[in-house]
Amino acid sequence: MTAAAQTRLEAELAELAGSVPDPELPVLTLAELGVMRGVTMHEDGHVEVTLTPTYTGCPAIEAMSADIERALTGHGIPDVRVTTVLSPAWSTDDITAEGRRKLAEFGIAPPRPHSAGGPVPLTLSVRCPNCGSTDTELLSRFSSTACKALRRCVACREPFDHFKEL
Amino acid sequence: MSSTGTESTTATAAVLALGDDALILSHRLGEWAGHAPVLEEEVALANIALDLLGQARILLSMAGDEDELAFLREERSFRNLQLVEQPNGDFAHTIARQLYFSLYQHELYTELAAGNGPFAPLAAKAVKETAYHRDHAEQWTLRLGDGTEESRSRMRAALDALWRFTGEMFQPVDGLDVDPAALETRWLAALGAVLDRAGLALPEGPRTGAWAAGAGRQGLHTEPFGRLLAEMQHLHRSHPGASW
């Protein structure tokens, strides 16, 4: 009887939680980043939101949890619990097309699609988010956050972050 | 509160082995902050340390309270490899330690990820990170081995110095469902290939044995480990129960 209503409420809450901006890349929502795994309304009235981390050590996960709790509490849900799940592991392929577009607009080269597991061999070119040139070079596989690599555009000489493939 | 030590179940032995490896190496790599030779490298080592810390938190939480396990255990209760507790030394020592360990961890996690045991979800996640750690260590091994005479001799000295700590990685651990001999074969093959490309030879000499180090998994550690623990645990022990 209430199953349909609950599902609708869950969908509504999932959309709300998914619209929370990523704390480190605020141009992206958590849904666009692909880290939202589900929202469940439990019998005792508490709402469980499941998230998956981008990297196991990603410190943003705690801020994400707090932001989701705040968003749902503000929507009238008194008891919100955010849990993290590891499996199936998050991949940069989980970033939505809209998320990729926003990353590029924000000056971060989006990740390339995967073929196999592990780091992608650096044969496909990464496009400079500033001038659009594909003539770019890797400076370091590690950058300002765990999920990014540092590159430089050979054409316009600007350094830029690349959301590296995982 | 769960007990944090003496009555380890077999599952706990494996959890502590993997968790302590990640925790202690993370701490060692963190010591490079503010001291790395170039900014990019500082960031890279801190990123690798952060990945390992994330793995350690998940693993130690499988065995009990992560903070209690990290900050309130005595030296003899830690089950990490002696390799990961070795001091950073010069940059070549850090890279040699990274090369030995990341090749091992990557092979180990690849195997655990393919199974359906308790470590499979974490391993499936972490193996994607360890691929980058391995790549980082390999790139530096090539640069140092194939660089100047100075860099080459330092890399060779570092590989030799840490060689005796590598046998321990392939001793069986209770609760860890892998074939150590097969793991060792794959590790040696991968290591040999990198060193060959770098123009470096596989070190000689025993990697285990009565004389050699190799009892970290039993809680026996080398002299530098006590100082590491003192620094890592000092703040937590000085302010019991403190929070932000």
B3 lies in some domain: no
Domains of chain A: 3-84 (3.30.300.130), 96-163 (no CATH)
Provide the percentage of residues in chain A whose pLDDT is more than 90.
73
B179 lies in some domain: yes
CA atoms within 13 A of residue A6's CA, in its CB half-sphere: 12
CB spacing of A119 vs B131 below 8 angstroms: yes
Position with higher pLDDT, A163 vs B1: A163
Asked if pLDDT for residue B47 goes beyond 80, the answer is yes
Q: Looking at residue B94, what is its pLDDT?
A: 98
Total of domains in chain B = 1
Identify all chain A residues contacting B57, using CB atoms and an 8 Å cutoff.
Answer: 56-57
For residue B165, give both structure tokens: 């700590």
Residue of chain A whose alpha carbon sits nearest to that of B55: A56
CA distance B59 to B61: 5
Position with higher pLDDT, B150 vs A120: B150
Residue A122 forms contact with B (CB below 8 Å): no
CB spacing of B124 vs A57 below 8 angstroms: no
Which helix H or strand E contains B205, and what residues bound it? Answer: none
pLDDT digits (tens, 9 = 90+) for A28-45: 999 999 999 999 999 998
B4 lies in some domain: no
The b/e string for A85-111 (b: 16+ C-beta within 10 A; e otherwise) is ebeebbbbebbeeebbebbbeeebbbb
Residue B53 forms contact with A (CB below 8 Å): yes
Residue A89 forms contact with B (CB below 8 Å): yes
Position with higher pLDDT, B35 vs A124: B35
**What ipTM does the predicted assembly reach?**
0.82
Asked if pLDDT for residue B4 goes beyond 50, the answer is no
Residue A109: helix, strand or coil by DSSP?
strand
Asked if pLDDT for residue B17 goes beyond 70, the answer is yes
Residue A150 forms contact with B (CB below 8 Å): yes
Question: Residue range B43-72: average pLDDT?
Answer: 95
**How far, rounded to the nearest angstrom, does the alpha carbon of residue A6 sit from its chain's CA centroid?**
26
Asked if pLDDT for residue B8 goes beyond 50, the answer is no
CB spacing of A56 vs B129 below 8 angstroms: yes
Q: Looking at residue B212, what is its pLDDT?
A: 57
Question: Residue range B196-207: average pLDDT?
Answer: 93
Position with higher pLDDT, B194 vs A24: B194
B197 lies in some domain: yes
Identify all chain B residues contacting A88, using CB atoms and an 8 Å cutoff.
Answer: 124
From A59, A141, A166, residue closest to B128, measured CB to CB: A166
CB spacing of A55 vs B50 below 8 angstroms: yes
**Omega into B121 within 30° of 0, i.e. cis?**
no
Provide the percentage of residues in chain B whose pLDDT is more than 70.
93
Identify all chain A residues contacting B48, using CB atoms and an 8 Å cutoff.
Answer: 142
pLDDT digits (tens, 9 = 90+) for B117-173: 999 999 999 999 999 999 999 999 999 999 999 999 999 999 999 999 999 999 999
CB B122 within 8 A of CB A84: no
From A53, A89, A150, residue closest to B124, measured CB to CB: A89
Asked if pLDDT for residue A118 goes beyond 70, the answer is no
Q: Looking at residue B241, what is its pLDDT?
A: 83
B100 lies in some domain: yes
Residue B128 forms contact with A (CB below 8 Å): yes
| CATH code at position B55 | 1.20.1260.10
For an interface test with B, the pick among A92, A114, A142 (most B C-beta atoms closer than 10 Å) comes out as: A142
B1 lies in some domain: no
Position with higher pLDDT, B209 vs A50: A50
CA distance A64 to A60: 6
Q: Looking at residue B7, what is its pLDDT?
A: 41
Going by C-beta distance under 8 Å and a sequence separation of 6 or more, which residues neighbour residue B110? B123, B127
CB spacing of A57 vs B131 below 8 angstroms: no
Q: Looking at residue B6, what is its pLDDT?
A: 41
B244 lies in some domain: no
How many Cβ atoms from other residues are within 10 Å of residue B209's Cβ? 11
Position with higher pLDDT, B238 vs B240: B238
CB B44 within 8 A of CB A140: yes
The b/e string for B26-58 (b: 16+ C-beta within 10 A; e otherwise) is bbbbbebeeebeeeebbbbbbbbbbbbbbbbbb
Cα–Cα nearest to B190, from B235, B138, B114: B138
Distance from CA of A4 to the nearest CA of B (A): 32
The conformational region for residue A92 under phi > 0 = left, psi -120 to 50 = alpha, else beta, is alpha
How confident is the prediction for chain A on average, in pLDDT?
89
Residue B142 forms contact with A (CB below 8 Å): no
CA atoms within 13 A of residue B112's CA, in its CB half-sphere: 25
Identify all chain B residues contacting A146, using CB atoms and an 8 Å cutoff.
Answer: 47, 50-51
Question: Residue range B50-73: average pLDDT?
Answer: 95
Question: Distance of CA B63 to CAs A6, A100, B3, B141, Å?
Answer: 36, 38, 9, 35
Residue A58 forms contact with B (CB below 8 Å): yes
Residue B1: band (very low, low, confident or very high) from pLDDT cuts 50, 70, 90: very low
Asked if pLDDT for residue B224 goes beyond 70, the answer is yes
Question: Residue range A63-89: average pLDDT?
Answer: 94
Q: Looking at residue B214, what is its pLDDT?
A: 62
B243 lies in some domain: no
Asked if pLDDT for residue B2 goes beyond 50, the answer is no
Residue A18: helix, strand or coil by DSSP?
helix
Position with higher pLDDT, A120 vs A21: A21
Identify all chain A residues contacting B53, using CB atoms and an 8 Å cutoff.
Answer: 57
CA distance B194 to B201: 10
Position with higher pLDDT, B29 vs B242: B29
Residue A144: band (very low, low, confident or very high) from pLDDT cuts 50, 70, 90: confident
Asked if pLDDT for residue A142 goes beyond 70, the answer is yes
Q: What's the domain range around B70? A: 10-235
Q: Looking at residue A95, what is its pLDDT?
A: 96
Identify all chain A residues contacting B128, using CB atoms and an 8 Å cutoff.
Answer: 89, 91, 117-118, 166
